[in-house]
Amino acid sequence: MNIKETICPRCGNPSEEGLCGPCRLHEIEWVSVSPRVETILCPSCGSRKVGSTWTDQQMEKEDLARSLVIDGISFHPDVRDHAMEISIRDISSNRSKAYLKISGTCYGIPVEDTFQVLIVWGKEQCDRCCRISGSYYEGIIQVRGEGRRLTEWESRRAAEIAWQAEDAAQQGGDRLSFVSSIDSSKDGIDIIVSSRGIGQSIVTDISSYFGARSTSHPKLVGEKEGKRLYRVTWLIRLPRVVRGDIVLLKGDYYQVTGSDGTTLRTKHLLTQQPRSFRDDESVRVIGNIRDAEEAMVTYHEGDIIGILDPKTHLPLEIPAPDGCHTQAGGAVTILRDGDQLVVVGY
């Protein structure tokens, strides 16, 4: 008989030290399972409320149910070789039930038990959906042209930039920053934003994309919980002349390659030479290269090119730009300035 072998004081069976395994197991709760778990989800967007904070959650409902149930399980530290099987069944729109089989070993003895857990799905409208449904906003961004209307392309591009900024904000976890709506008018577009933060970043993005200037006018609209509430109106003016515009100055056509609002960087359409000049009334915009049409080339001789006007199908002779090697049968792109056609690409 081993010198260390002792007798269990409770049942009299051999034991290594103090109580024997079965008697110790009898003393403890080897696993505890919360019989009821709950969580709150937004019925509109599926966000989840934890404590008082809402977060977007990407988990499937079944995975979320599993993790709620597992969070409610705690093992005694002496349990080894944990294993569990969980199956979940929906019992109503806001209740599910989890059936668990849990097993392990404790003090060398295999243990196993089954449990049922009720999962309660609470519903509450989240902070973001509240704001959206209440048409909450903190700012309006007006995008306009300098002395002109916005083109369709500019309106579309500005709107895309706003939606991209919203995606970035939402992905960065800034739940309350979103674009409430974008309204078009004949002069341009209005972007309604839910927070000043996203408003400012959209203004920065649109301004730098178009090389435009912006101003902001905060207006005090009230007070909430001791904090002053402002609504900001931003005005972005897209310059009169933008990159890609074809302009006429003193009988010559130029393509604008850049602008700082006062000085235009251009290239001469015939010679391809770069030239900078001030934007003033003597500079006339005839169109943008994005709106160019394609015209069929009928012949090309020296610096004269013959084309078919794509609208009238009548033959025309116009100057060919230096470096244009397009021959009969090929195509060039043109813009119209009244009756005059101008080659803008080849």
Residues at the site binding Zn ion, with contacts judged by CB under 5 A: 8, 10-11, 20, 23, 42, 44-45, 47, 126, 129
Closest approach of Zn ion to the CB of residue 313, in Å? 57
Helix (H, G, I), strand (E, B) or coil at 203: helix
Which CB atom, from 20 or from 176, has the smaller least distance to Zn ion? 20
Residue 296: exposure state from Cβ atoms within 10 A (0-12, 13-18, ≥19) = middle
Q: Answer yes or no: are the C-beta atoms of 102 and 164 closer than 8 Å.
A: no
Q: Answer yes or no: are the C-beta atoms of 162 and 191 closer than 8 Å.
A: yes
Give residue 261's Cα distance to chain centre: 30
Which CB atom, from 42 or from 193, has the smaller least distance to Zn ion? 42
Which CB atom, from 129 or from 285, has the smaller least distance to Zn ion? 129
Closest approach of Zn ion to the CB of residue 113, in Å? 21
Closest approach of Zn ion to the CB of residue 81, in Å? 22
33-36 LR contacts (CB < 8 Å, sep 24+): 33/72, 33/73, 33/100, 33/102, 33/115, 33/117, 34/72, 34/73, 34/117, 35/115, 35/116, 35/117, 35/118, 36/117, 36/118, 36/119, 36/120
Which CB atom, from 57 or from 216, has the smaller least distance to Zn ion? 57
Helix (H, G, I), strand (E, B) or coil at 70: helix
Which CB atom, from 16 or from 301, has the smaller least distance to Zn ion? 16
Which CB atom, from 193 or from 342, has the smaller least distance to Zn ion? 193
Closest approach of Zn ion to the CB of residue 24, in Å? 8
Closest approach of Zn ion to the CB of residue 65, in Å? 19
Give residue 339's Cα distance to chain centre: 45
| Cα 89 to Cα 61, 67, 140, distances in angstroms | 11, 15, 47
Closest approach of Zn ion to the CB of residue 42, in Å? 3
**Other CB atoms closer than 10 Å to residue 145's CB: what's the count?**
20
Closest approach of Zn ion to the CB of residue 292, in Å? 46
Query: Phi first, then psi: what are they for 162, rounded to 5°?
Result: -65, -45
Which CB atom, from 41 or from 270, has the smaller least distance to Zn ion? 41
